Amino acid sequence: MQQEELIRRAQSGDEHAFEQLLLAHQKSVYNLCLRMTGNPDDALDVSQEVFLRLWRSLGQYQFDAAFSTWLFRLTSNLCIDFLRTRKRKAHLSLTVMQSGETEETGEEYSVPDAAPLPEEQVLHAEKKQAVERAMASLPEDYRAVMQLRVVEELSYEQIAEVLQIRIGTVKSRLARARMQLRKLLLDGNFFDAASSERMPEEVHVP
């Protein structure tokens, strides 16, 4: 069934049609949330909120913009709301910690036990870890434009519409995001793990 037909049916309350829409778009929505929130638990929560909100507000979609752009805008807005609340909470708990008694331990990230891996997998795991670390260090703004451009292949114009920023900002943000990602990967020895040949020394980039 065509997407437009699915949307129209879902708009009139057809749960099955809505489920088809969800299945078609859940990976895109979830991964954008994952990039913007930075962790799977929050990404799941926000993704659920996106689809529940979509179900309630689907009637407002007028077929004037591409559906995916419309959905990404909803997703991005909910992620931004979520990040704001999280920052406010983090700020509050920090204030409490400063004024209250001593906190037992800070938040520690538990690294899962590294079970012995076959040699060819070690290289792959190192590479994956390097990417994960680099991704975590990249600012949220940069991860969002990268996700929409590199994975979703939206045009600069569409990205500007989704994130409600100027096209010039999309362009410069993407350029900086790429340079920074490359730098992070370089520092994380990603290129070493990826291939035996060394990358050339740092070039001066703006």
Partner 1 sequence: MNCEQAAELMSAMLDGELTPQEQQALSAHLAQCEQCRALLEALRAADAAFKNEQSEPPACLREHVMAQIHRQSAQSKRRSVRNRVLGALAVAAAAAFILLSALDVIHLPGMNEVSHASVSVGQSMQDMLPQTAQTPEEAAQQLCRQSDCTVLLLYSDTVPQALSALSYETRADGSRLFCTDEAALERLLSAFDEAAWQLFAPEQPAQQTLYVLLLPASAQPN
Do the beta carbons of residue 139 and residue 183 sit within 8 Å? no
Q: Is residue 144 a contact residue for partner 1 (CB under 8 A)?
A: no
Does the footprint of partner 1 cover residue 34 (CB under 8 A)?
A: yes
- The answer to whether 125 touches 188, Cβ cutoff 8 Å, is no
**Least distance (Å) between residue 206 CB and partner 1:** 6
For partner 1, give the closer residue by CB, 83 or 194. 194
**Shortest distance in whole angstroms from residue 11 CB to partner 1:** 14
Measured in whole angstroms, the distance separating CA 195 from the mean position of its chain's CA atoms is 27
Structure tokens at 53: 């909100």
What type of residue is 68? S
Selection from 79, 80, 74 nearest residue 161 by Cα: 74
Give the C-alpha separation, 191 to 181, whole Å. Answer: 12
**Shortest distance in whole angstroms from residue 95 CB to partner 1:** 33
> What residue ranges bind partner 1 (CB under 8 A)?
13, 15, 18-19, 22-23, 26-27, 29-31, 34, 40, 44, 47-48, 51-52, 55, 127, 131-132, 134-135, 146-147, 149-151, 156, 171, 174-175, 178-179, 181-182, 185-186, 190-191, 194, 199-200, 203-206
